[in-house]
Structure 1
Amino acid sequence: MEPKHVYDLIGEKEKKEIDKFTEAYVEFLSTVKTERESVEFFCEALRKEGFQEGGQREGFFVYKNKFLACWRRGQKTLKEGLRIIVSHIDTPRLDLKLHPLFEDMELAYFKTHYYGGIKKYHWVAMPLALHGVVVKKDGTLVKIVIGEKEDEPVFTICDLLPHLARKKQEEKKLAEAIPAENLNILVGGIPLEKGAKTKKEEKERVKKRILQLLEERYGIKEEDFVSAEISAVPAGRARLLGLDSAFVGGYGQDDRICAYTSFQAFKEIANPLYTTLVLFMDREEIGSEGNTSAKSRIFENLVYQLLKGEGLSPTPDHFFEVMHHTKALSADVTAG
């Protein structure tokens, strides 16, 4: 049977609903660019719907602000199985190293290491924003978002001009043209004003100026980077793409498109037959390694908690009985 285009099968009402849905999705993509921000967004939406953290009938569970599970109890008992949709909310990005700030040739940079499978040439000579958190010495958590507002500066990774790149880049294989260790983010070039200092103290004046600005604006000192998680991501809003606005262009759609649509579907299930569970996982882009990933024991522990909520003992026998009757969808993107 020949496949048909969906727009040949729907009416004007459905097309308007698609446009409305897309508008909200574009807003989501424009503001939510890390796994922490994803969890925060979904938790806020759940609370507005009346869900409570750890709630029995309708609840959610957060782990390390990077994993989220939300559920609605079904008409059938848990031993008759769950209905699960699982997606991941981490995306390829550049993370700042523990000691990122350095100065070279009177320019200040942040050292990075890449997370997930990136094409390095995608990340040079483009506007970048910084998203993340910093835990200060006194335990205060400072949220960082720099480069998303029109009146804020952005950042970038320097690239070679075309007429200078011939031997340095063009004669190399694509994967070797831009070494990962060169993915340093340009953050400043104005030195700290000179004072009555010794020559030794006059070194790294641009770096010192950046540190001064960080402390003035965010209360962050250089040693605070050790306890920080800051990522560089493409700056700017997601946009409709094409003359007919048929597509959405934006960062992080692998796999936030599945996370967002899974969540919207979950909200519309008022009284499910089976207990419905939606999982938003972390660390998929690096092989699901880590304690917020699908390879961790977090899902197993969650099922045990749901069993206890029904008055059932949290034993391996009960767990495997639930799993035997469970059906799940793994929601991730594909090509084409």
Structure 2
Amino acid sequence: MSTSKTLASVLLLCLPLALFAQEAIPSDTGTVAAKSAWLELTPEQKTEVMRFAEPYKDYLRHAKSAALSAATLAALAQQSGFTPFTSPSQVKSGARLIINNRDRAIAFVVIGSDPIETGSRVIAAHEDSPHINLKSRPVIQAPGSVALFKTTLYGGLKKYQWSNLPLALVGRIDTVDGRHLQVNIGFAPGDPVFVIADSAPHSDSQLRTRTYTQVLGGEEMNPVAGSIPGDHSTVAQQVMETLRQRFNIHDEDLVSAELELVPATQPADVGLDLGLTGSWGQDDKLSSYVASRAILDLKGTPRKTALAYITNFEEVGSPNNTGAGSQFLDTLFTELVDAQKPPATDLAVRNALRNADVLSADCNDGVNPLFPQNSEASNAAVVGYGVAIKRYGAGFDPNSEFTARILRVLDQNHIAWQTQTPRVEVGGGGTIGGFLSLRNMEVLDVGIPLLSMHAPYEMSSKVDLWSFYRLMSAFYAME
């Protein structure tokens, strides 16, 4: 091949990346900026960006499940002066309230000076993340003289990514005799971990025809739980006996347990420049933290009531009584309306929902540096370029006037932003915004891009995190 043809081939291969790097339109025109948000920061702002990421990483160290996330956020709220909602008499202008939904979902409210029926500012996110659950009968004896945990999968994950990875066991056991036990094994120094064993390259020839998504089957996602047999018992029997003794439980107590296997890793900075945060569970604990942090930091009394709504079970469709498909939010609005203008009529509650402005916050995948062809260059979100305004089309977008209002907030506050639309007929994703739109609320989907989304270790940009926080803070205070 000639030198000119070789050069031409290289240029063609680089073309998608070049499209992302171009500076097409200046950001001050109100059109999406085509350069990194890092380049717009003052030295003081860059220091603030780096500082803001530290408590976020600390939250991720504790929020290893939806329940642990809710508990962590509730503790932060109480430190910020929020109090649990127990009586309608608390609903007064400036009140800062915590509404707990079964310890697995939560809402934070700052009561505005205007009646909630006239409008509110709601940010909704979900705090669950892809993981592996234990089955009700969780321990089996396996070939090779080991015991395995039997599992089911939660959320959209690539199964092969979870093998050869140290896993921790977290969750709760509620016993038949009325005790509530917390389980957290794998994070403390000296704790054991659990590992799904891969096949060695010396003996895996029969497995090499498996396809990309089927390297491991669903019933093969079983980590090693133990390896020492008893004198007169199998390894599996010994593991069960260890569980009984450690938690003082009976076998039937495991039927009602909620036990999850999650990566036994902790957050860390990624890259020599420390610009990215790496951690499991950023989708969508990231949005849950930022939405909560923004309302906890809200100063004074806003004109419109501000509400952070942190839900569960989004990764499996938002079912159950702590998911966005439940009536928890309807009940919450009814209680607030009733406290301000008793009795709460059906029409008043419907008006309150209709007049609510909502940001449905959820992370999205960013342009992958190894596979840029998976994204559509002109509309894909890029890590480090700011908040992503999601435009799905097909009836999933809000009306144009609400989108324009949010863009105005972004531009007036000089917050970096971009757009996100998946490639047509390639893939995509949704979030909880549809459940809120069904209530006649005005909803726009927003997020920030991640690398390795839904993997055991996701990466987010610190400048995107900070930009997201600034948008949410401005939205809560929006007139």
What TM-score, normalized by structure 1, do the two folds share? 0.93
The yes-or-no answer on 1:41 pairing with 2:72 is: yes
SS at match of 2:122: strand
Q: 1:230 aligns with which of 259, 278, 282?
A: 259
Correspondence for 1:331: 361
Equivalence map 1:156-235=2 (5 Å): 156-168=195-207, 170-192=208-230, 194=231, 202=232, 204-235=233-264
Query: 2:98 aligned to 28, 50, 60, which one?
Result: 60
CA distance in 2, matches of 1:259, 1:158: 33
Q: Of 129, 140, 144, which residue of structure 2 is paired with 1:91? A: 129
For residues 171-226 of structure 1, the C-alpha deviation after alignment (integer angstroms, 9 at most, x for no partner) is 1211222110011121100112x2xxxxxxx3x42122222322333223322211
Q: Which amino acid aligns with 2:236?
A: K
User: Which residue, 320, 345, 357 being the options, matches 1:290?
Assistant: 320
1:320 and 1:9 map into 2 onto residues whose CA distance is: 42
Deviation at 1:103, TM superposition (A): 1.2
- Aligned equivalent of 1:71: 109
Instruction: Write the distance in 1 (CA, Å) between the matches of 2:346 and 2:203.
Output: 63
Q: Is the 8 A contact 1:79 1:318 kept in 2?
A: yes
User: Distance in 2 between the 1:176 and 1:48 partners?
Assistant: 46
- Could you list the structure 1 runs, at least 4 aligned residues long, displaced by more than 3 angstroms after superposition: none
Contact 1:31 1:237 in 2 (8 A): no
Give 1:184's aligned amino acid. N
Kindly provide the amino acid, as one letter, of the partner of residue 189 in structure 2: E
Deviation at 1:13, TM superposition (A): 1.5
Report which stretch shifted further, 228-237 or 288-297.
288-297
Query: Which letter does structure 1 place at the counterpart of 2:163?
Result: V
Describe the superposition over 1:20-63 as per-residue Cα deviations: whole angstroms up to 9, x where unpaired.
Answer: 11111112112211000011001111122222211422211111
The one of 306, 312, 333 aligned to 2:336: 306
Moved more, 113-122 or 18-27: 18-27
Q: What is the rounded CA distance, in whole Å, between the counterparts of 2:280 and 2:198 in structure 1?
A: 21
**Structure 1: 5+ residue stretches without partners:** 195-201
Deviation of 1:80 after TM superposition, in Å, equals 1.1
CA contact 2:194–2:225 (8 Å) conserved in 1:
yes
1:320 to 345, 350, 367: 350
2:138 aligned with 1:100: yes
- Whether the aligned pair in 1 keeps the contact of 2:125 and 2:310 (CA below 8 Å) is yes
**Alpha-carbon shift at residue 258 of structure 1 (Å):** 0.7
- After superposition, the C-alpha distances for 1:223-259 in whole angstroms (9 at most, x for unaligned) are 2211100000000211110111111110000011111
1:5 to 36, 53, 66: 36
- Look up the equivalent residue of 1:127 and give its one-letter code: P
Q: How many residues align?
A: 326
> Equivalent residue of 2:202, what SS?
helix
| Displacement after TM superposition at 1:276 (Å) | 0.4
Whether contact under 8 Å (1:211, 1:221) holds in the other structure is no
Structure 1 residue 107: Cα displacement:
1.1
Q: Which has the higher contact order (CA 8 A, sep 6+)?
A: 1
In structure 1, what is the Cα distance between the partners aligned to 2:119 and 2:170? 39
Amino acid at match of 1:49: S
- Give the whole-Å Cα distance in 2 for the aligned partners of 1:289 and 1:162: 41
What SS is found at the alignment partner of 2:365?
A: coil
How much is the aligned-residue C-alpha RMSD, in angstroms?
Answer: 1.4
Cα distance in 1 for partners of 2:270, 2:141 equals 39
SS at match of 1:47: helix
One-letter amino acid of the counterpart of residue 107, structure 1: V
C-alpha separation in 2, matches of 1:18 and 1:261: 13
Give 1:4 deviation, angstroms. 3.0
1:27 aligns with 58
Corresponding residue for 1:198? Answer: none
The 8 Å contact of residues 130 and 230 in structure 1, kept in 2 or not, is answered as: yes
Q: Determine the C-alpha separation between the residues in 2 that align with 1:209 and 1:185.
A: 16
Where 1:68 maps in the other structure, the secondary structure is strand
Give 1:68 deviation, angstroms. Answer: 0.4
Amino acid at match of 1:281: T
Map of 1:140 onto structure 2: 179
1:332 Cα shift? 0.4
Amino acid paired to 1:12: P
Structure 2: gaps of 5 or more residues: 1-24, 27-33, 367-479
Distance in 2 separating the partners of 1:267 and 1:149: 29
Counterpart Cα distance in 2 of 1:20 and 1:219: 43
CA distance in 2, matches of 1:334, 1:237: 21
Counterparts of 1:52 and 1:309, CA distance in 2? 16
What is the match of residue 307 of structure 2? 277
**Structure 2: how far apart are the matches of 1:134 and 1:178?**
29
Which amino acid is 1:310 matched to?
Q
Deviation at 1:335, TM superposition (A): 2.1
Q: Distance in 1 between matches of 2:125 and 2:203?
A: 43
TM-aligned CA deviation for residue 164 of structure 1: 2.1
Deviation, 1:126, is: 0.5
C-alpha separation between the residues in 2 aligned to 1:164 and 1:31?
39
**Which residue of structure 2 aligns with residue 255 of structure 1?**
284
Shift of 1:282: 0.7
